[in-house]
Amino acid sequence: MENGETKTLPKSGAMVGGDGPRSYAQNSSYQRGVLIIVDELMDEGIKETLDFISPCSDSSNMCKFRIADFGCSAGPNTFLAMEKIMEVLGIPTVYFAAGVPGTFYGRLFPKSTLHLTYASYSLQWLSKVPEEVVDTKSPAWNKGSIQCSGTAKEVAKAYSAQFKTDMDNFLNARAQEIIGGGLMVIIICGLPDGILMSQTVVGICIELLGSCLIDMAKLVSNNIWLGLFFGVISEEKVDTFNLPLYYSSAKELEEIIKNHGHFCIERLNMLNHPMMKRKIDVQSHISQFRAIFQGLLEAHFGRDDVDKIFEYLAKKLAENYDSVFNVAKHQHVEHFILLKRNIN
């Protein structure tokens, strides 16, 4: 870091690794499917906006084109995305690759070394849960919920402020790393303007997960012997558990990017994922949830209780199938954003 600056890395809840039946690699077909619907957007956007002269204008960078995927998680999805980008650019599929450890909310690469960057399904994850939502003395204390549902004004305000801080940090870091005229592709989970998280299927499912935790904690509290079955989930632990997850609107994203000032918005599209229209299988849904949230639950409640939590969630989803999947009128959306680094 410049000027001897050091940063404490945020805690992260990694996706389930490996290639087993519960792994993210085996349960990320939804995230992989977005590549199909952004194919044309990426193809046209990159070809129309990338300055192909700049990358080779400096003799020290001649014939070097550097691409980075920020938040590639676990599994093969990142390779499919990189292959697509190289196909658009006309770069041979034989390439040099390296993994760089660290948070993408800070600097990871030297100044002006990247020509194109990509971040898919990563920036909706905050660097941390807002401190106010777990502070019992704060008006933003999020008791009774584990997410930013949008119904509590102070909670939403705290989450929105953390998202803005994280996005500013992300954009600041990328502004230093990307050359003038370079591009950044962002695919991020979000909400249609005017729609609350609690009104979407994913939001309702997360609320059900929270209700499972609350029910289990109350059972243990009222009947000590049930602790032998439900483990040591306590009401205090449930009250201090919130997901570092925030779904933003297109309006909010546009405002943050424009106020930042180092990038020009070339495209900002709202995507309709084809898998949204398919009939949802409860067990498949649970597998996807588990691949994403297991790490966070284990870190907070302990590994022994995770199986019981997801067994209970599967039961609740099955019992409330119609009210969750058939009655909910709104889905979350994916925002496709193509940014161009301003030339200073």
Angstrom distances, CA of residue 313 to CA of 78, 141, 216, 234, 255: 30, 24, 11, 17, 37
Q: Decide if pLDDT at 8 tops 80.
A: no
Higher pLDDT, 122 or 31: 122
Residue pair 160/92 in contact (Cβ under 8 Å)? The answer is no
DSSP code, position 339? E
What whole-number percentage of the chain has pLDDT above 90? 47
Q: Strand runs (DSSP E) across the chain, as ranges?
A: 67-69, 114-120, 178-191, 248-249, 263-271, 333-341
Query: What is the C-alpha to C-alpha distance for residues 340 and 344, in angstroms, rounded to an integer?
Result: 12
In one-letter notation, the amino acid at residue 319 is E
- Its CATH architecture, for the domain 21-341, is 3-Layer(aba) Sandwich (3.40)
More confident residue, 5 or 122: 122
pLDDT of residue 27: 65
| pLDDT for 5 | 35
pLDDT at 149: 95
pLDDT at residue number 280: 74
63-111 pLDDT, tens per residue?
588 999 998 777 777 788 888 888 888 877 668 778 888 889 999 999 9
Cross-strand pairs, 67: 116
Instruction: Kindly list the domain boundaries of the chain, sorted by start residue.
Output: 21-341
Give the mean model confidence (pLDDT) for residues 160-166: 97
Q: What is the reported pLDDT for 11? A: 52
pLDDT of residue 278: 66
pLDDT interval class at 214 (50, 70, 90): very high
Angle 148-286-326 (CA atoms, 0-180°, nearest 5)?
75
Nearest partner of 335 among 247, 206, 260, judged by Cα: 247
Sign, CA torsion 19/129/256/261: negative
CA distance 177 to 117: 10
For residues 93 and 72, what is the distance between their CA atoms, to the nearest angstrom?
18
Give strand pairing partners of 334: 189, 271
Are residues 218 and 238 in contact, defined by beta-carbon separation less than 8 angstroms? no
- Token readout for 92 is 């041979």
CA angle 212/215/144 to nearest 5° reads 80
- Residues 301-316 pLDDT 10s: 888 888 889 999 999 9
**Rounded distance, CA 89 to CA 87, Å?**
5
Least confident among 6-15, 62-71, 105-114, 243-252: 6-15
